[in-house]
Amino acid sequence: MTGVLASQQIQSLIDQGALKGNPAIDPAQVQPASLDLRLGTRAWRVRASFLAGEGRSVAQRLGEFEMHQVDLTHGAVLEKGCVYVVPLMESLDLPEGLQAVANAKSSTGRLDLLTRLITDSGTEFDRIAQGYSGPLYAEICPRSFSVLVRPGMRLNQIRFRDGQAIVDDAALRALHAQMPLVDGEAVIDEGLGFSVDLKPAQGDLVGYRAKPHAGVIDLERIGVYDPAEYWEEVRSTEGRVILDPGAFYILVSREAVCIPPEYAAEMAPYLAMVGEFRVHYAGFFDPGFGYSPAGGAGSRGVLEVRCHEAPFVLEHGQVVGRLVYEKMAQRPAQLYGTGIASNYQGQGLKLSKHFKSP
């Protein structure tokens, strides 16, 4: 059956040797519709971001762009504004017909930690051609905060697709009529549109903006950092904020969304023409996100927003992105928020798991 592979199918790929790990893949890496990828023991600081290109290996290109190497064995700081390439502990030997796509994990995106997958002969970030056999690498560029990393840390994840999985607009409307995907009117145009909430039900806190000169974040430490040392609160009483060029913001969607168990979704940017900003890169929504068998309010999506060249006024209810729904090949054995460590089920405006709750 075509679609995005579920957790039990990913486990079958591991058992068959199509997914390999050194050391062996931990069952905890297998998510409802993806596999978490682990950092290896060494990082290459490089002069610039790059793709291997057709017929060339990442190892060859590292020889061109390497500045120095960093041993991660006992932990090392990846500095803000620098670009690193880290070989991952996983490698692929995909069968023909099976392709893959990668994305940053939610906590990675909320730290403005740009993390993309690159492969040998790759001509696109985060896209793995069907039948690919070879190593995997993470390109990491901390944008707002320097971070302390160690081998085995999981900053990005990979999904596997067999054939065409995207749900077209007509099918998405039919699904919404059967099971509401948002708690209001569904704006469906090449996916399910979602907008920004700048008029909270209580108070005037609408988001957070990363401070420009904050300290290092140890990615292993959960719930320990004081948000005030890393973030400025963004408040609004009039339903709008002005985004500053180059600044990074955590905002929240106005809509609460639901991903039914037989579907997954990926956050995609809205039209580039709508303004001088883009919603950031952590974009996988697992089957079961915001879902309740009895029906429910869903979960709101946290928006990682970076402003580009000019200041831009963002208004309450402005559409800023879309969810592209994909059909699962099978219903996952476990759903997001059910029996697994799901940090963001039922969320509202929320920083990454490394910070204390305000």
**Mean of per-residue pLDDT scores for the chain:** 90
What pLDDT digit, counting tens, does each position of 249-304 carry? Answer: 999 999 999 999 999 999 886 655 455 566 765 578 899 888 877 665 578 888 88
What pLDDT digit, counting tens, does each position of 22-68 carry? Answer: 999 999 999 999 999 999 999 999 999 999 999 999 999 999 999 99
Domain ranges of the chain: 3-162, 169-327
pLDDT value of position 224: 96
pLDDT value of position 28: 94
Residues in the chain: 358
What pLDDT digit, counting tens, does each position of 324-345 carry? Answer: 999 999 999 888 765 544 544 4
pLDDT value of position 344: 46
Q: Which CATH number fits domain 3-162: 2.70.40.10, 3.40.50.300, 3.40.1010.10, 3.40.640.10?
A: 2.70.40.10
Map the chain to HEC letters: CCEECCHHHHHHHHHHCCEEECCCCCHHHECCCCEEEEECCEEEEECCCCCCCCCCCHHHHHHHHEEEEEECCCCEEECCCCEEEEEEEEEEECCCCEEEEEEECHHHHHCCEEEEEEECCCCCCCEECCCCEEEEEEEEEECCCCEEECCCCEEEEEEEEECCCECCHHHHHHHHHHCCCECCCCCECCCEEEEECCCCCCCCEEEEEECCCCCCEECCCCCCECHHHCEEEEECCCCEEEECCCCEEEEEEEEEECCCCCEEEEEEECCHHHCCEEECCCCEECCCCCCCCCCCCCEEEEEEEEECCCCEEEECCCEEEEEEEEEECCCCCCCCCCCCCCCCCCCCCCCCCCECCC
Nearest to 345 by CA among 303, 302, 316, 294: 302
Same fold, 3-162 and 169-327: yes
pLDDT at 346 over 70: no
The token duo for 91 is 């490698």
Nearest to 95 by CA among 6, 159, 11, 16: 16
Dist. CA 194–CA 182, nearest whole Å: 9
Radius of gyration of the chain (CA): 20
pLDDT value of position 125: 94
Instruction: Pick the range with the lowest mean pLDDT from 11-15, 116-120, 282-286.
Output: 282-286
pTM of the model: 0.92
What pLDDT digit, counting tens, does each position of 70-111 carry? Answer: 999 999 999 999 999 999 999 999 999 999 999 999 889 899
Tell me which fold the domain 169-327 belongs to.
Deoxyuridine 5'-Triphosphate Nucleotidohydrolase; Chain A (2.70.40)
What pLDDT digit, counting tens, does each position of 220-238 carry? Answer: 999 999 999 999 999 999 9
Q: For residue 18, is it left (φ>0), alpha (ψ between -120 and 50) or beta?
A: alpha
